[in-house]
Amino acid sequence: RFGGDEFVILVQAGDVPQVSAQLAERLVRDLRHPLNVQGREVFLGTSIGITLFPDDANDATTLLKNGDIAMYQAKVAGKNCHRYYSRAMDHAVERRVHMEHELRGAWERGELRLVYQPIHRTSDRVLVGVEVLLRWQHP
């Protein structure tokens, strides 16, 4: 158990990509069935990230980070699946983190503004409300 609801499995086998995919598919399949916990059915969702040594990284810290990135992509894909880490995923995470950082400072830099868009009744064009949009003017 790595933390919270996360587990790490180390696979040492001849064909690691194939064995890890088979293990991931088996885990997803087996954990789809409800568990009986104190008389109650408990359903689990399974999102598995797979990273390969030495293809993806040469140290444990980076392998764990890459596995976490791949797991997040599996969650985005709708759970109950597995994803292999790729460098493209890493770039996507970097872009998202950069975007979040920029957005956090947007208020202080005066880059956010409200725009009021009128809503008219189609039958007689009478104003019946407004939609408020938040626009980000990023340089």
Shared domain check, 76 and 53: yes
Shared domain check, 91 and 119: no
41: containing domain = 16-104
Give buried/exposed letters for 6-40 (b at 16+ CB in 10 A, else e): eeeeeeeeeeeeeebeebbeebbeeeeeeeeeeee
User: In this model, does residue 52 exceed pLDDT 90?
Assistant: yes
Task: Find the mean pLDDT for residues 38-49.
Answer: 94
Q: Given pLDDT bands bounded at 50, 70 and 90, which one contains residue 117?
A: very high
User: In this model, does residue 22 exceed pLDDT 90?
Assistant: yes
Q: Is 9 part of any domain?
A: no
Shared domain check, 99 and 50: yes
Total tally of structural domains belonging to the chain: 2
Write down the mean pLDDT value for the chain. Answer: 92
Task: Find the mean pLDDT for residues 34-56.
Answer: 94
Q: Residue 94 has what pLDDT?
A: 86
How many whole angstroms separate alpha carbon 71 and alpha carbon 76? 9
User: In this model, does residue 92 exceed pLDDT 90?
Assistant: no
Shared domain check, 34 and 98: yes
Q: Is 3 part of any domain?
A: no
Per DSSP, helices labelled H in 32-86 are: 60-76
How many whole angstroms separate alpha carbon 53 and alpha carbon 55? 5
Shared domain check, 70 and 60: yes
